[in-house]
Amino acid sequence: MRLFVGLGNPGAKYQGNRHNIGFMVIDEIARRHGFSPWRRRFQGETADGVLDGVRITLLKPTTYMNESGRAVQEAAGFYKIGQDEVAVFHDEIELPPAKVRVKVGGGIAGHNGLRSISAHIGNDYLRVRLGVGHPGAKELVHNHVLGDFAKSERPWVEALCEIAADNAGLIAKGKDSTFANKVHLAMQAKGFYDNDKGTSGSKQ
């Protein structure tokens, strides 16, 4: 069994924020793979299902981003699972928009959701880093991540959520690098990367 955590803030006012792309991917996994209806528990919302033969619980903490670790700790404790069975899907300003990287452990790069999770369960869980781009200056980061995706960004956001959800079974089976590669190739095929230079492009 594995716990897939999507990071975001609860409530309609945050729904379209860059900070909420973790929620968006988790929602898409639930939709595309016929997971159970969402229910409130573990200081969050959960849905249960199976990906490629692996039992998965999806978790969206409703504690607000800075306290995400409380919900993750409660869920992990209930299921008696360790860090190596937790995958966290989150926004990453150090990656260009639409880019995805997967890693275990490492720094938190100022991400308050990751900071909270690491404080509650340890640091060696899987991070699925979903690029939302950097605004260019540190003082602009707060408004950038708590701002909605622009209308021009919606095509790649929707495509990324769908492609990540379609390939989520690879994460469930521990094939992290294969997942990242498949997402990269599928996004490239749809025209969302400019000449593979690490930047996202608009599909015309």
Burial degree of 80 (CB within 10 A; 0-12, 13-18, 19+): exposed
Q: Return the structure tokens found at 100.
A: 């995805």
Our answer to whether residue 184 is catalytic in this structure is no
Alpha-carbon distances of 36 from 24, 101, 201, rounded to whole Å: 17, 28, 35
In whole angstroms, give the CA distance from residue 202 to residue 152. 7
Query: Of the listed 19, 90, 111, 144, which one is catalytic?
Result: 19
Residues identified as active-site: 19
